[in-house]
Amino acid sequence: MTTYKLLLLPGDGIGPEVMAEVEKVVGWLGKAGLATFETETDLVGGAAIDTHGTPLSDATLAKADAADAILLGAVGGPKWAGVDYELRPEAGLLRLRKDLGLFANLRPAICYPALAEASALKPELVEGLDIMIVRELTGGVYFGEPKAITTLEDGSKRAVDTQVYTTAEIERIAHVAFDLARKRSGRVASAEKNNVMKTGVLWKEVVTRIHREHHSDIALEHVLADNCAMQLVRRPKQFDVLVMDNLFGDVLSDIAAMLTGSLGMLPSASLGAVDAKGTRKALYEPVHGSAPDIAGKGFANPIAMIGSLAMCLRYSFGLGDAADRIEAAITRTLASGARTRDIAKAGDAAISTAEMGDAIVRELDAGGAA
Ligand code: NAD
Ligand code: IPM
Ligand code: MN
């Protein structure tokens, strides 16, 4: 059996807490003979700043480059509020994404049946919800230059961020969205603001052409990003695959998270281009952050992190059956009533991060694919 090299980057806040739970699942996969891993753990974000003075050392980046896949917990927190902007914890994650070329961020928002009640929306609006947000991850306003704060003559300041997209960047993310839609319901909605932004004009033009030239079997709809945000809470099930730029994808995926009950439920895959050997760089991480408000308390929901491992098995290692087993175990665990605090009904008892991890491993042991 192939041994996969996994680099674990727990990071900050609840990152190490949810990573400890996914490690239980990694161990279970080995014991069950479904996949064997060689894991190595390293520092990223604030934890790396504390030790190395930088949120991502060159040595860690080299390990990430050499790994078959990376699992990342979360970075950031108030402890590092005072560090230089270039050296803040988030800069480490952004460098990983950029330097490894992880341009395609898949953020599936699935409402598990037992959690329809936990959503911020009425259960009938989210029951059966299964949407896939495809977020462009290495371009746009996150990386465009200039990006600066300058002091004006009168002593006041001027800040600038720059939104940049090229044809090639839009083409490749559009292909990812259309290819995914073909394996799902065959529908893509592309969100931008072509009514205000030049990048929106180019985005719509390129997505339209890629659709016409390569994917005319898929139904394509264009939607303005502000309307898209509204539609996501009005009638989310109208969407299947959604494709959008880096910033809109960041914001709209947090909205989508609440449809599923909690930000603690949303996994993600950040994928690079497929190379000549048929492999691609990939990093898997929850959509949520380091949650400083609950860090260290054992309240964090580890499902987004464990779901990210399932995505890793599916997208990096072709182990779709093992991924299905993990997702089925999560489904059954939730159906049994197990709830961390974020998905518990007000007043109901909640279990800890570790108890949720153990409950999922017990369900894995109990077996069954669905
Ligand atoms: P956050 O996602 O950390 O938390 C937002 C809210 O959701 C908090 O109330 C938190 O308790 C809750 N929450 C998040 N994950 C949860 C989980 N697994 N279980 C239960 N509740 C959960 O966002 P924030 O508070 O705006 O940001 C905190 C820090 O995290 C910032 O430094 C930010 O830059 C960073 N961040 C990092 C990532 C990442 O590493 N990928 C993502 C988002 C934010
Ligand atoms: C996310 C986070 C990151 C982003 C931050 C931490 C850089 O919010 O992964 O959603 O904005 O992309
Ligand atoms: Mn975010």
Residues 145, 251 within the same domain? yes
Q: Letter for the amino acid at 227?
A: N
Whether residue 266 lies inside any domain: the answer is: no
Q: Is residue 360 part of a domain?
A: yes
Half-sphere exposure of 343 (CA within 13 A, CB side): 33
Binned at pLDDT 50, 70 and 90, residue 271 comes out as: very high
Distance CA 184, CA 187 (A): 8
Q: Are residues 294 and 331 in the same domain?
A: yes
Helix axes 89-99, 58-66, angle to 10 degrees: 40
Ligand 2 touching residue 96 (CB < 6 A):
no
231-236 long-range contacts (CB < 8 A, ≥24 apart) are: 232/256, 232/259, 233/120, 233/121, 233/259, 235/125, 236/109, 236/121, 236/125, 236/126, 236/129, 236/131
**153 lies in some domain:** yes
Domain residues for 6?
1-103+272-370
pLDDT at 368: 58
Share of the chain above pLDDT 70, in %: 99
- Rounded to whole angstroms, the Cα distance separating 40 from 263 reads 27
Q: Are residues 232 and 121 in the same domain?
A: yes
Whether residue 236 is preceded by a cis peptide bond, meaning omega within 30 degrees of 0, is: no
> Considering the chain, what is the average pLDDT of its residues?
97
Q: In a 3-state reduction of DSSP, which class is residue 260? A: coil
55 is known to lie in a ligand binding site = no
Under the banding of pLDDT at 50, 70 and 90, the label for residue 212 is very high
* CATH number for position 304: 3.40.718.10
Q: Do 330 and 250 have their domain in common?
A: no
- The reply to whether ligand 1 has any atom less than 6 angstroms from the CB of 46 is no
264 lines ligand 1 (CB under 6 A): yes
| In the predicted structure, residue 370 carries a pLDDT above the cut 70 | no
- Both 188 and 289 in one domain: the answer is no
265 inside domain: no
Binding site annotation covers 16? no
User: According to the annotation, is 172 in a ligand binding site?
Assistant: no
Active-site position among 4, 42, 68, 142: 142
Lowest mean pLDDT among 145-154, 217-226, 340-349: 340-349
Please identify, among 235, 260, 285, the residue that sits at the C-terminal boundary of a domain: 260
> Phi and psi for 297 in degrees, rounded to 5?
-105, -10
Residues 231 and 130 reside in one and the same domain? yes
Q: Per the confidence metrics, is the pTM higher than 0.95?
A: yes
Q: Give the distance (Å) from ligand 1 centre to CA of residue 5.
A: 27
pLDDT digits (tens, 9 = 90+) for 32-55: 999 999 999 999 999 999 999 999
Residue pLDDT, tens place only, 166-185: 999 999 999 999 999 999 99
Measured between alpha carbons, how far is 97 from 75 in angstroms, rounded to an integer?
Answer: 13
- Residue from 12, 72, 90, 283 to probe ligand 2 pocket by mutation (most atoms less than 8 Å from CB): 90
Which of 263, 297, 352 to probe ligand 1 with, by most ligand atoms within 8 A of CB? 263
Concerning whether 193 is annotated as a catalytic residue, the answer is yes
284 contacts 312 by C-beta, under 8 angstroms: yes
